[in-house]
Chain A
Amino acid sequence: MYVGLDMGGTHTDAVLIAGGRVKRYCKTPTAPEDYLHTVTRALDEVLEDIATGEVRRLNLSTTVCTNAIVTGRTSPVGMLLEPGPGLNPAGLTCGAKNFILSGAIDHRGRPTSSLVATEIEAADKELRKAAIRHLAIVGKFSTRNPEHELQIKEALSPDYDFITLGHRLSGRLNYPRRVFSAYLNSAVASVYEAFAAAIKTYASSRQLPVEPDILKADGGTLSLAASRSLPVETILSGPSASIMGALALAPSSRDTIILDIGGTTTDIAFLADGVPLFEPLGITLAGYPTLIRALYSYSLGLGGDSCLRVRDGRLSIGPERLGPALALGGPAPTPTDALITMGRLDLGDKGAARRGLEQLGDQLGLTTGEVAAAIIKQMATEIASQTRALLEGINSRPVYTVREVLEDKKLRPEQVIVIGAPAPLLAAELEAAFGLPVVAPSLAGVANAIGAALSQPTTEITLQADTEQGFLTIPEEGIREKVQRGFNLEAARRRALAALQDRLRRLAPAAASAELEVVEEQSFNMVSGFYTTGKNIRVKVQVKPRVSPLEGDEHDV
Chain B
Amino acid sequence: MMYKARRRLGLVFFPAFDWAISPTHPEREERLLYTQDQVFEEGILDIEGIREYRPRLASTGDVERVHICVPDVKSRTTESHLIAAGGAIVAAEAVLKGEVDKAFAIIRPPGHHSFRIVHGARGFCNINMEAIMLEYIRRHYGPKRIAIVDTDCHHGDGSQDIYWHDKDTLYISLHQDGRTLFPGTGFLNEFGGPNAFGYTLNLPLPPETGEEGFLYALEHFILPVLADFKPDLVINSAGQDNHYTDPITNMRFSAQGYARLNDRLQPDIAVLEGGYSIEGALPYVNAGIILALAGLDYTGIREPDYTPERVAQSPRVSEYIARLCDESYQAWQQRDTLREEYIQGKTEISRRRRIFYDTEGLMETQQETTRVCHDCGGVTWIDSRTDHGRHILAIFIPREACHRCQEEGHAIFDRSRAIDYPDGIYLQDRVEDQMLKK
Contacts and interface: CB of A to CB of B under 8 A. Distances in A.
B54 interface: yes
A107 B41 contact: yes
Contact of A396 (B33, B54, B299): B54
Which of the four size classes fits the interface of chain A?
35 or more
Interface in A284-315: 287, 289
A278 B1 CA distance: 20
Contacts of B305: 112
Interface stretch (A10-18, A55-63, A520-528): A520-528
B18 A402 contact: yes
Contacts of B296: 87-88
Interface string A160-189: 000000000000111111000000000000
A108 B13 contact: no
Interface in B267-302: 279, 283-284, 287, 291, 296-297, 299-302
B293 to A, nearest CB: 14
Interface in B68-114: 78-80, 83
B95 to A, nearest CB: 17
Contacts of A140: 41
A287 B46 CA distance: 12
A538 to B, nearest CB: 9
A399 B2 contact: no
Interface in B212-255: 247
A406 B86 CA distance: 12
Contacts of A158: none
B23 interface: yes
A86 interface: yes
Contacts of B55: 398, 405
Interface string A100-113: 00001011100011
Contacts of B3: 87, 91, 176
A86 B296 CA distance: 11
A86 B37 contact: no
A85 interface: yes
A108 B44 contact: no
A85 B302 contact: yes
Interface in B25-41: 28-30, 33-34, 36-38, 40-41
B47 to A, nearest CB: 9
B18 A401 contact: yes
A87 B37 contact: no
A529 interface: yes
A113 B291 CA distance: 23
A85 to B, nearest CB: 4
Contacts of B287: 86-87
B304 interface: yes
A91 B17 contact: no
A397 interface: yes
A403 B78 CA distance: 12
B282 to A, nearest CB: 10
B24 A398 contact: no
Contacts of B19: 402
Contacts of A402: 16, 18-19, 78-80, 83
Most chain B CB neighbours (cut-off 10 Å) among A113, A176, A399: A176
Most chain A CB neighbours (cut-off 10 Å) among B23, B24, B43, B301: B43
B46 A289 contact: yes
A86 B34 contact: no
Given A87-B300, A88-B300, A107-B283, A174 B17 contact: no
A405 B79 contact: yes
Dominant secondary structure at the B interface? loop
A536 B279 CA distance: 13
Nearest to A526: B30
Given A91-B3, A405-B83, A524 B29 contact: yes
A167 to B, nearest CB: 12
Given A107-B38, A176-B2, A400-B15, A536 B33 contact: yes
A92 interface: yes
A25 interface: no
A333 to B, nearest CB: 36
Contacts of A87: 3, 42-44, 287, 291, 296-297, 300-301
A2 interface: no
B17 A400 contact: yes
Interface string A495-528: 0000000000000000000000000001011110
B297 A176 contact: no
Contacts of A89: 300
Nearest to B33: A524
Contacts of B36: 400
Contact of B28 (A174, A397, A527): A527
B38 A176 contact: no
B52 A398 contact: yes
Contact of B43 (A176, A287, A522): A176
A143 to B, nearest CB: 9
A405 to B, nearest CB: 5
B356 interface: no
Contact of B17 (A401, A529, A531): A401
A173 B2 CA distance: 18
B279 A86 contact: no
Interface in A75-121: 85-89, 91-92, 104, 106-108, 112-113
Contacts of A112: 304-305
B187 interface: no
A108 B278 CA distance: 12
A532 interface: yes
A141 interface: yes
B381 interface: no
Contact of A397 (B30, B34, B54, B302): B54
Nearest to B291: A87
Nearest to B20: A525
29 contacts: A85-B284, A85-B302, A87-B291, A87-B301, A88-B296, A88-B297, A92-B2, A104-B304, A107-B38, A112-B305, A113-B304, A172-B40, A173-B41, A174-B43, A174-B46, A176-B42, A177-B46, A396-B53, A398-B13, A399-B54, A400-B13, A400-B17, A400-B36, A401-B16, A402-B19, A402-B78, A403-B18, A524-B30, A525-B28
Interface of A: 85-89, 91-92, 104, 106-108, 112-113, 140-141, 172-177, 281, 287, 289, 396-403, 405-406, 522, 524-527, 529-532, 536
Given A107-B41, A173-B41, A525-B30, 20 more contacts: A87-B43, A87-B296, A87-B300, A88-B296, A88-B299, A108-B34, A172-B40, A175-B41, A175-B42, A176-B42, A287-B1, A396-B54, A400-B15, A400-B36, A401-B17, A405-B83, A525-B28, A527-B28, A529-B247, A532-B23
